[in-house]
């Protein structure tokens, strides 16, 4: 994979984004209104909910929005390309299909990452909760995104073979918002155990510890958050590689690459 | 890579079975395509043409058999093989409709490893070649069907491939767009010495362009040979009687005649009717037909035998009563 291909993929993403401008504006509005509604509800529910609560919610909400969007968009690369009729063309370049999907994923990552983070900083500035971004926070955020990408690739592999995965993606989207502690801490023991298996949970916990409690990486290692995140991310990346490799071979065996 | 001295595509004992309990989609076909030629892969719908092309490109994995493209084993060195191939797939949009023609070429060029000034120059060159330079900054979705297919063709030849695989490239195109496509293919082969594998249902196009014809039916080879030889071989055996009638014939009468004389077909040309009858059978049957035409008040302007066209040979070869060659 070269810089030129990455550049081409990024220009491709921006050009398509320009073509679907209304969808992008709606998404930004929904993101902003969703966050404002959340903090209004939380403030009405608890008198002690203040700037620290805003920051906690913003960290969870932004991490969920960016990572879940990246995950879903990567999972939908295959189905979207099949719909536009260009999926087979992506398999006809002299790059390996995995490389083409990877560059497309990086385009998606930059697209959602920039949009989500810029808006999060604007909201943080307006609410007076702007924090310095440390290297530790960047590392934890990157590991969280990597895990989400891994799951995205796994689902993309399934989508190459089974095509319609929209229902599953909807379910996953809801699970990621409600069962990862993105909005509020999870009290139930069973749900807490479930949340530890999902890709965003450890990352959100780590980011809150670093940005709110000023925890160091050593602290995160000691309290198990870092090791949990590393194992979780490694698992989803491995799952992504295995299922995507299987999916693209199986789709070619069945001759269903172009189907949708 | 110089393909002058090696086979452009070599397919050996290719089999594709999608389901164990269904007939094979492709059943043991073999062929070789020499460089600098147009190879027409012909067959009715469902014959296995698209599956064969997709197996050559590695988009569908064969059940058994081997494929070499530009000297590379497609199973083991697919990426190297694909770097020598340009493709237009049937029924597929092939390019992004929400992007301009130029943006599509920039994107697919980059995926092919092209960049900078050479890419920009090559894009201008292919846009001129397909007569689309003036419309290159319009989104593909606003272009006509013919122009969209020209964008697909420009994308296919952008990286100057040695082999072009075209699956129904003129499907749905008007005469003008179809002619441009034909000119580009001709130029690609005759002037540049490249190779084309073409599938089409337009037999006149296949006859004009193809040096070699391979007919496939129900996944099996039916016949193959040089186009002229194939027409001579089967056209000679199966001469066609053509009868021009002075008026547009009554539909009921025509239907009755077509039912009564197997192989007879009718077309209306202007205010006249043309009957064509391949494998006319015995002299007695021919006289019987002429008598029936006369009895139904149809004036015969002209009647005579002529050699069959590729279309007629194709219809004969792929008729269900005929056994496949292998």
A258 touches chain B (CB under 8 A): yes
Percentage of chain A lying above the pLDDT 90 cut: 61
Residue of B nearest to A251 (CA): B60
Question: What is the token pair recorded at A39?
Answer: 């903090």
B175 touches chain A (CB under 8 A): no
In angstroms and rounded to an integer, the radius of gyration of the C-alpha atoms of chain B is 23
According to DSSP, residue B133 is labeled G
**Residue from B111, B112, B118, B171 whose CB has the most chain A CBs within 10 Å, to mutate:** B111
The model's pLDDT over B159-189, given as tens digits with 9 standing for 90+, comes to 999 999 999 998 888 888 888 889 989 988 9
- Is the CB of residue B126 less than 8 Å from the CB of residue B184? no
Helices (H) and strands (E) in chain A, counts: 12, 0
* pLDDT tens, N- to C-terminus, chain B (326 residues): 555 558 999 999 999 999 888 899 999 999 999 999 999 999 998 899 999 999 999 999 999 999 999 999 999 999 999 999 999 998 657 889 889 999 999 999 998 989 899 999 999 999 999 989 999 999 999 999 889 999 999 999 999 999 999 999 988 888 888 888 899 899 889 888 899 999 988 888 999 999 999 999 999 999 899 998 888 777 666 677 888 898 888 888 888 888 888 878 888 888 889 888 876 567 788 888 889 888 888 888 888 887 777 787 777 777 655 544 44
Alpha-carbon distances of A81 from A8, A76, B200, rounded to whole Å: 17, 8, 25
Mean per-residue pLDDT for A196-211? 95
Alpha-carbon distances of B99 from A73, A111, B137, B180, B277, rounded to whole Å: 19, 18, 9, 23, 50
Mean per-residue pLDDT for A91-98? 85
Q: pLDDT at position A38, please?
A: 92
Q: pLDDT at position B237, please?
A: 65
Looking at beta carbons, which residues of chain B come within 8 Å of A2? 113
Q: pLDDT at position B249, please?
A: 80
pLDDT for A1 beyond 80: no
Question: What is the token pair recorded at A87?
Answer: 């999926």
The model's pLDDT over A162-190, given as tens digits with 9 standing for 90+, comes to 988 888 888 898 889 999 999 888 888 89
The model's pLDDT over B276-316, given as tens digits with 9 standing for 90+, comes to 887 656 778 888 888 988 888 888 888 888 777 778 777 77
The model's pLDDT over A124-156, given as tens digits with 9 standing for 90+, comes to 999 999 988 999 999 999 999 999 999 999 999
CB contact under 8 A, B87 and A257: no
Say what angle helices B116-129 and B145-157 make with each other, to 10 degrees: 140
B1 touches chain A (CB under 8 A): no
Alpha-carbon distances of B116 from B96, B106, B123, B152, rounded to whole Å: 21, 10, 11, 21
pLDDT for A2 beyond 80: no
3-class SS of residue B39: strand
3-class SS of residue B74: coil
Could you give the CA distance from residue A243 to residue A256 in angstroms, rounded to a whole number? Answer: 16
- Residue that the structure tokens 């606003």 belong to: B142
Q: pLDDT at position B326, please?
A: 40
CA distance A242 to chain B (A): 19
CB contact under 8 A, A84 and B115: no
Q: Is the pTM of this model over 0.80?
A: yes
Q: pLDDT at position B307, please?
A: 72
CA distance B170 to chain A (A): 17
Other beta carbons within 10 angstroms of residue A158's beta carbon come to: 19
Residue of B nearest to A14 (CA): B99
Alpha-carbon distances of B312 from A88, B210, B243, rounded to whole Å: 34, 16, 16
Q: pLDDT at position B325, please?
A: 45
Nearest to residue A120, comparing CAs of A48, A32, A233, A238? A32
Other beta carbons within 10 angstroms of residue A253's beta carbon come to: 14
B95 touches chain A (CB under 8 A): yes
Residue of B nearest to A17 (CA): B98
| DSSP codes of every residue in B168-236 | STTTT--HHHHHHHHHHHHIIIIIT--EEEEE-S-HHHHHHH-SEEEEEETTEEEEEEEHHHHHHHHHH
According to DSSP, residue A66 is labeled H
CB contact under 8 A, A20 and B89: no
Q: Is A180 left (phi over 0), alpha (psi -120 to 50) or beta?
A: alpha
3-class SS of residue B13: strand
CB contact under 8 A, A84 and B89: no
Looking at beta carbons, which residues of chain B come within 8 Å of A91? 58-59
Please state whether beta strands B85-88 and B72-73 pair in parallel, antiparallel, or not at all (unpaired): unpaired
CB contact under 8 A, B99 and A20: no
Give A78-85's long-range contacts (Cβ < 8 A, gap of 24+): A78/A156, A78/A159, A78/A160, A79/A159, A79/A163, A79/A164, A79/A165, A79/A166, A79/A260, A82/A163, A82/A257, A82/A258, A82/A259, A82/A260, A83/A260, A84/B93, A84/B96, A84/B97, A84/B98, A85/A258, A85/B92, A85/B93, A85/B94
Question: What is the token pair recorded at A244?
Answer: 């995507």
CA distance B19 to chain A (A): 9
Looking at beta carbons, which residues of chain B come within 8 Å of A20? 98
Could you give the CA distance from residue A60 to residue A64 in angstroms, rounded to a whole number? Answer: 6
B160 touches chain A (CB under 8 A): no
CB contact under 8 A, A255 and B98: no
CB contact under 8 A, A90 and B111: yes
CB contact under 8 A, B60 and A92: no
The model's pLDDT over A13-51, given as tens digits with 9 standing for 90+, comes to 888 878 788 888 898 898 899 999 999 999 999 888 999
According to DSSP, residue B85 is labeled E
- Is the CB of residue B201 less than 8 Å from the CB of residue B269? no
Interface of B with A in 297-326 (CB under 8 A): none
Longest dimension (CA), chain A: 60
CA distance A260 to chain B (A): 12
Q: Could you tell me how many CB contacts below 8 A there are between chain A and chain B?
A: 95
3-class SS of residue B306: strand
Burial class from Cβ neighbours inside 10 Å (0-12, 13-18, 19+) for residue A174 reads exposed
Say what angle helices A201-211 and A135-162 make with each other, to 10 degrees: 160
A19 touches chain B (CB under 8 A): yes
């Amino acid at each position: 994979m070269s810089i030129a291909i990455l550049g081409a993929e990024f220009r491709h993403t921006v050009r398509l984004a320009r073509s679907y401008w209304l969808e992008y504006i709606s998404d930004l509005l929904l993101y902003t209104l969703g966050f404002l509604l959340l903090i209004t509800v939380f403030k009405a529910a608890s008198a002690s909910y203040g700037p620290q609560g805003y920051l906690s919610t913003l960290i969870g909400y932004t991490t969920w929005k960016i990572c879940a969007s990246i995950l879903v968009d990567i999972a939908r690369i295959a189905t979207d390309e099949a719909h536009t009729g260009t999926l087979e063309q992506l398999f006809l370049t002299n790059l390996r299909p995995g490389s083409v999907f990877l560059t497309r994923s990086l385009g998606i990552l930059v697209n959602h990452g920039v949009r989500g983070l810029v808006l999060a900083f604007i909201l943080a500035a307006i609410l007076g909760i702007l924090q310095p971004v440390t290297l530790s926070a960047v590392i934890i955020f990157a590991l969280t995104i990597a895990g989400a990408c891994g799951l995205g690739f796994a689902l993309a592999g399934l989508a190459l073979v089974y095509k319609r995965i929209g229902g599953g993606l909807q379910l996953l989207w809801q699970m990621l918002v409600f069962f990862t502690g993105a909005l509020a801490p999870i009290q139930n023991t069973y749900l807490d155990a479930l949340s530890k298996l999902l890709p965003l949970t450890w990352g959100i916990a780590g980011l809150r510890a670093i940005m709110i409690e000023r925890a160091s990486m050593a602290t995160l290692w000691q309290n198990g958050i870092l090791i949990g995140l590393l194992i979780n991310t490694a698992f989803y990346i491995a799952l992504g590689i295995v299922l995507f490799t299987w999916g693209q071979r199986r789709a070619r065996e069945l001759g269903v690459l172009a189907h949708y | 890579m110089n393909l002058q001295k090696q086979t452009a595509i070599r397919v050996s004992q290719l089999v594709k079975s999608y389901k164990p309990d269904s007939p094979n989609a492709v059943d043991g076909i073999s062929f070789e395509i020499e460089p600098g030629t147009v190879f027409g892969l012909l067959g009715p719908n469902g014959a296995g043409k698209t599956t064969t092309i997709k197996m050559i490109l590695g988009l569908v994995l064969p059940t058994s058999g081997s494929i070499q493209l530009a000297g590379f084993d497609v199973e083991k060195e697919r990426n190297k093989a694909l770097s020598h191939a340009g493709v237009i797939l049937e029924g597929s949009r092939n390019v992004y409709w929400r992007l301009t023609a130029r943006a599509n070429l920039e994107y697919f060029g980059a995926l092919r490893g092209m960049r900078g000034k050479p890419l920009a120059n090559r894009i201008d060159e292919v846009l001129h070649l397909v007569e689309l330079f003036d419309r290159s900054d319009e989104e593909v979705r606003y272009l006509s069907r013919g122009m969209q297919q020209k964008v697909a063709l420009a994308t296919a030849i952008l990286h100057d491939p040695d082999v072009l695989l075209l699956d129904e490239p003129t499907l749905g195109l008007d005469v003008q767009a179809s002619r441009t496509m034909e000119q580009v293919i001709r130029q690609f082969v005759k002037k540049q010495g490249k190779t084309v594998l073409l599938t089409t249902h337009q037999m006149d196009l296949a006859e004009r362009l193809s040096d070699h014809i391979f007919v496939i039916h129900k996944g099996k080879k039916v016949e193959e040979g040089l186009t002229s030889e194939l027409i001579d071989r089967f056209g000679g055996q199966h001469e066609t009687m053509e009868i021009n009638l002075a008026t547009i014939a009554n539909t009921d009468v025509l239907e009755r005649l077509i039912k009564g004389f197997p192989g007879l077909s009718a077309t209306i040309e202007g205010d006249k009717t043309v009957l064509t009858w391949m494998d006319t059978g015995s002299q007695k049957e021919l006289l019987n037909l002429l008598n029936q035409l006369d009895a139904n008040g149809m004036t015969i302007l002209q009647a005579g035998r002529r050699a069959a066209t590729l279309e007629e040979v194709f219809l004969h070869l792929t008729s269900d009563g005929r056994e496949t060659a292998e």
